[in-house]
Protein backbone atom coordinates (compact mmCIF):
# COMPACT_ATOMS: atom_id res chain seq x y z
CA UNK A 1 0.00 0.00 0.00
CA UNK A 2 2.88 2.33 0.90
CA UNK A 3 6.54 1.63 0.25
CA UNK A 4 9.58 3.81 0.86
CA UNK A 5 12.91 2.69 -0.62
CA UNK A 6 16.07 4.56 0.32
CA UNK A 7 14.17 7.79 0.79
CA UNK A 8 16.07 10.96 1.65
CA UNK A 9 14.50 14.34 2.25
CA UNK A 10 16.02 17.73 2.82
CA UNK A 11 14.52 21.17 2.31
CA UNK A 12 16.65 23.29 0.01
CA UNK A 13 20.26 22.88 0.98
CA UNK A 14 19.60 22.03 4.61
CA UNK A 15 20.63 18.79 6.28
CA UNK A 16 18.66 15.62 5.61
CA UNK A 17 15.48 15.55 7.68
CA UNK A 18 14.97 11.93 6.60
CA UNK A 19 17.91 9.76 5.54
CA UNK A 20 17.70 6.34 3.90
CA UNK A 21 14.19 5.52 5.11
CA UNK A 22 12.87 2.08 4.18
CA UNK A 23 9.52 0.66 5.18
CA UNK A 24 6.36 -0.89 3.86
CA UNK A 25 2.80 -0.51 5.08
CA UNK A 26 0.33 -3.20 4.07
CA UNK A 27 -3.32 -2.52 3.20
CA UNK A 28 -5.48 -2.08 6.30
CA UNK A 29 -2.65 -1.35 8.74
CA UNK A 30 -2.97 1.19 11.56
CA UNK A 31 0.37 2.88 12.10
CA UNK A 32 1.59 5.63 14.40
CA UNK A 33 4.44 7.88 13.33
CA UNK A 34 6.14 9.06 16.50
CA UNK A 35 9.06 11.19 17.53
CA UNK A 36 9.84 14.53 19.13
CA UNK A 37 8.77 17.80 17.60
CA UNK A 38 10.89 18.67 14.56
CA UNK A 39 11.95 15.06 13.97
CA UNK A 40 10.31 14.86 10.55
CA UNK A 41 6.90 13.26 11.18
CA UNK A 42 5.00 15.84 9.09
CA UNK A 43 7.60 15.53 6.37
CA UNK A 44 7.11 11.77 6.22
CA UNK A 45 3.33 12.17 5.91
CA UNK A 46 3.69 14.87 3.26
CA UNK A 47 5.83 12.51 1.16
CA UNK A 48 3.02 9.93 1.30
CA UNK A 49 0.38 12.51 0.38
CA UNK A 50 2.52 13.85 -2.45
CA UNK A 51 2.59 17.28 -0.80
CA UNK A 52 6.41 17.20 -0.82
CA UNK A 53 8.72 15.31 -3.17
CA UNK A 54 11.55 13.19 -1.76
CA UNK A 55 15.10 14.41 -2.49
CA UNK A 56 16.14 10.85 -3.33
CA UNK A 57 14.65 7.37 -3.30
CA UNK A 58 11.32 5.95 -4.39
CA UNK A 59 7.87 6.28 -2.87
CA UNK A 60 5.06 3.95 -3.91
CA UNK A 61 1.50 4.71 -2.83
CA UNK A 62 -1.47 2.51 -3.66
CA UNK A 63 0.40 0.77 -6.48
CA UNK A 64 1.79 3.95 -8.07
CA UNK A 65 5.31 5.27 -7.95
CA UNK A 66 4.67 8.90 -7.04
CA UNK A 67 8.14 10.40 -6.62
CA UNK A 68 8.79 10.54 -10.37
CA UNK A 69 5.55 12.26 -11.28
CA UNK A 70 5.26 15.38 -9.12
CA UNK A 71 2.48 17.43 -10.75
CA UNK A 72 0.72 14.56 -12.44
CA UNK A 73 0.36 12.47 -9.28
CA UNK A 74 -1.61 15.10 -7.39
CA UNK A 75 -5.15 14.57 -8.69
CA UNK A 76 -4.68 10.83 -8.30
CA UNK A 77 -3.29 11.19 -4.78
CA UNK A 78 -6.11 13.52 -3.77
CA UNK A 79 -8.51 10.63 -4.31
CA UNK A 80 -6.27 7.89 -2.92
CA UNK A 81 -5.04 9.67 0.20
CA UNK A 82 -7.13 11.65 2.66
CA UNK A 83 -4.94 14.22 4.36
CA UNK A 84 -5.51 15.91 7.69
CA UNK A 85 -2.78 18.44 8.21
CA UNK A 86 -1.97 20.16 11.46
CA UNK A 87 -3.66 23.40 10.62
CA UNK A 88 -6.91 21.90 9.47
CA UNK A 89 -7.58 24.29 6.58
CA UNK A 90 -11.26 24.47 7.38
CA UNK A 91 -13.05 27.32 5.65
CA UNK A 92 -14.75 29.69 8.07
CA UNK A 93 -16.79 31.50 5.42
CA UNK A 94 -19.18 28.53 5.06
CA UNK A 95 -20.92 25.96 7.19
CA UNK A 96 -19.78 22.47 8.16
CA UNK A 97 -21.45 20.55 5.35
CA UNK A 98 -20.14 22.93 2.70
CA UNK A 99 -16.64 22.28 4.02
CA UNK A 100 -17.18 18.56 3.53
CA UNK A 101 -18.78 19.09 0.11
CA UNK A 102 -15.72 20.90 -1.19
CA UNK A 103 -13.62 17.88 -2.25
CA UNK A 104 -16.71 16.38 -3.93
CA UNK A 105 -17.30 19.54 -5.92
CA UNK A 106 -13.64 19.43 -7.00
CA UNK A 107 -14.19 15.79 -8.05
CA UNK A 108 -17.16 16.92 -10.14
CA UNK A 109 -19.79 14.84 -8.35
CA UNK A 110 -23.48 15.54 -8.99
CA UNK A 111 -24.92 17.75 -6.25
CA UNK A 112 -27.55 15.43 -4.86
CA UNK A 113 -25.14 12.49 -4.67
CA UNK A 114 -22.52 14.77 -3.12
CA UNK A 115 -24.94 15.99 -0.44
CA UNK A 116 -25.86 12.41 0.52
CA UNK A 117 -22.21 11.45 0.77
CA UNK A 118 -21.29 14.54 2.76
CA UNK A 119 -24.06 13.80 5.27
CA UNK A 120 -22.87 10.21 5.57
CA UNK A 121 -19.31 11.41 6.24
CA UNK A 122 -20.54 13.85 8.87
CA UNK A 123 -22.53 11.08 10.52
CA UNK A 124 -19.53 8.75 10.59
CA UNK A 125 -17.49 11.26 12.59
CA UNK A 126 -20.38 11.83 15.02
CA UNK A 127 -21.38 15.34 13.94
CA UNK A 128 -24.95 14.69 12.77
CA UNK A 129 -27.12 17.70 13.54
CA UNK A 130 -24.19 20.12 13.23
CA UNK A 131 -24.21 20.35 9.43
CA UNK A 132 -25.32 23.98 9.40
CA UNK A 133 -22.91 25.27 12.03
CA UNK A 134 -19.98 27.39 10.99
CA UNK A 135 -16.77 25.59 12.06
CA UNK A 136 -15.95 28.62 14.19
CA UNK A 137 -18.93 27.66 16.39
CA UNK A 138 -17.50 24.18 17.00
CA UNK A 139 -15.14 22.95 19.71
CA UNK A 140 -11.57 21.98 18.81
CA UNK A 141 -12.47 18.30 18.84
CA UNK A 142 -15.51 18.88 16.62
CA UNK A 143 -13.44 20.88 14.15
CA UNK A 144 -10.92 18.06 14.04
CA UNK A 145 -13.72 15.59 13.33
CA UNK A 146 -15.02 17.87 10.60
CA UNK A 147 -11.56 17.86 9.03
CA UNK A 148 -11.64 14.06 9.16
CA UNK A 149 -15.06 14.01 7.48
CA UNK A 150 -13.71 16.20 4.69
CA UNK A 151 -10.66 13.95 4.29
CA UNK A 152 -12.68 10.73 4.01
CA UNK A 153 -15.63 11.94 1.94
CA UNK A 154 -13.87 10.88 -1.28
CA UNK A 155 -13.44 7.40 0.24
CA UNK A 156 -9.66 7.30 0.11
CA UNK A 157 -7.82 4.00 0.61
CA UNK A 158 -5.31 5.74 2.85
CA UNK A 159 -5.80 8.28 5.61
CA UNK A 160 -2.93 10.31 7.01
CA UNK A 161 -3.26 12.71 9.93
CA UNK A 162 -0.70 15.04 11.47
CA UNK A 163 -1.04 15.47 15.25
CA UNK A 164 -4.83 15.17 15.14
CA UNK A 165 -5.13 15.27 18.91
CA UNK A 166 -2.86 18.25 19.54
CA UNK A 167 -4.51 20.85 21.79
CA UNK A 168 -7.37 18.53 22.72
CA UNK A 169 -8.35 17.33 26.17
CA UNK A 170 -8.05 13.62 26.87
CA UNK A 171 -11.70 12.81 26.25
CA UNK A 172 -11.79 14.60 22.88
CA UNK A 173 -8.49 13.00 21.91
CA UNK A 174 -9.88 9.57 22.70
CA UNK A 175 -12.95 10.26 20.54
CA UNK A 176 -10.75 11.32 17.63
CA UNK A 177 -8.72 8.11 17.89
CA UNK A 178 -11.94 6.10 17.93
CA UNK A 179 -13.03 7.80 14.72
CA UNK A 180 -9.76 6.75 13.05
CA UNK A 181 -10.18 3.24 14.46
CA UNK A 182 -13.65 3.00 12.92
CA UNK A 183 -12.34 3.92 9.46
CA UNK A 184 -9.44 1.52 9.89
CA UNK A 185 -11.86 -1.29 10.80
CA UNK A 186 -13.59 -0.92 7.45
CA UNK A 187 -10.26 -1.23 5.67
CA UNK A 188 -8.75 2.26 5.44
CA UNK A 189 -4.98 2.16 5.86
CA UNK A 190 -4.28 4.75 8.54
CA UNK A 191 -1.14 6.64 9.55
CA UNK A 192 -1.20 9.08 12.44
CA UNK A 193 1.71 11.30 13.45
CA UNK A 194 1.83 12.10 17.13
CA UNK A 195 4.35 12.97 19.82
CA UNK A 196 1.91 11.92 22.56
CA UNK A 197 3.39 8.67 23.82
CA UNK A 198 0.71 8.14 26.46
CA UNK A 199 -2.01 8.29 23.83
CA UNK A 200 -0.19 5.90 21.51
CA UNK A 201 0.52 3.46 24.33
CA UNK A 202 -3.23 2.99 24.75
CA UNK A 203 -3.59 1.89 21.13
CA UNK A 204 -1.21 -0.98 20.62
CA UNK A 205 0.03 -1.26 17.10
CA UNK A 206 2.89 -0.58 14.80
CA UNK A 207 4.96 2.54 15.33
CA UNK A 208 7.40 4.18 12.96
CA UNK A 209 9.63 6.30 15.16
CA UNK A 210 11.90 9.08 13.97
CA UNK A 211 14.40 10.38 16.48
CA UNK A 212 17.60 12.36 15.99
CA UNK A 213 17.70 11.42 12.31
CA UNK A 214 17.27 7.72 13.05
CA UNK A 215 14.34 5.55 12.09
CA UNK A 216 12.85 2.68 14.09
CA UNK A 217 10.09 0.38 12.89
CA UNK A 218 8.34 -1.50 15.71
CA UNK A 219 7.24 -4.11 13.14
CA UNK A 220 10.89 -4.95 12.43
CA UNK A 221 12.18 -4.77 16.00
CA UNK A 222 10.57 -3.85 19.33
CA UNK A 223 10.66 -0.04 19.68
Q: Which is nearer to ligand ADP, 78 or 175 (CB)?
A: 78
- How many angstroms separate the CA atoms of 147 and 93, rounded? 15
11: contact with ligand ADP by CB under 6 A: yes
Whole-angstrom CA distances from 205 to 14, 154, 175, 195, 202 are 33, 26, 18, 15, 9
Question: Is residue 138 close enough to count as binding ligand ADP by CB under 6 A?
Answer: no
Sole binder of ligand ADP in the list 66, 85, 90, 100 (CB under 6 A): 85
From the CB of 185, what's the least distance to ligand ADP, in Å? 21
- Binding residues for ligand ADP, rule CB under 6 A, total 20
Residue environment code for 101-122, b if the CB has 16+ CB neighbours within 10 A, otherwise e: bbbbeeeebeeeebbebbbebb
Binds ligand ADP (CB under 6 A): choice among 2, 25, 30, 41: 41
Instruction: Quote the least distance from Cβ 42 to ligand ADP, whole Å.
Output: 3
Interface with ligand ADP by CB under 6 A: which range of 35-43, 90-98, 112-120, 173-181?
Answer: 35-43
Please report, for the chain, how many H helices and E strands are present, in that order: 7, 10
Contact characters 44-83, ligand ADP, x per CB under 6 A: -----x-x-------------------------xx--xxx
Tell me which DSSP letter residue 184 carries. H
Residue 143 dihedral angles phi and psi, to the nearest 5°: -65, -40
Contact 3, 161 (CB under 8 A): no
Binding residue for ligand ADP, selected from 6, 27, 38, 123, defined by CB under 6 A: 38
Q: How far apart are CA 96 and CA 126, in angstroms?
A: 13
Point out which residues bind ligand ADP (CB under 6 A).
11, 17, 35, 37-43, 49, 51, 77-78, 81-83, 85, 89, 151
Amino acid sequence: MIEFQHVFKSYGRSRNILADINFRVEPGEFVFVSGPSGAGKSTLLKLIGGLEPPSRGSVHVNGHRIDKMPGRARPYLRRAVGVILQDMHLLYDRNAIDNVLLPLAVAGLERRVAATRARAAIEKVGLSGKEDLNPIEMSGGEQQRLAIARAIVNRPAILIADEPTANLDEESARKILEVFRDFNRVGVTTLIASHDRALMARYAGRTLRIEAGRFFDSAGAPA
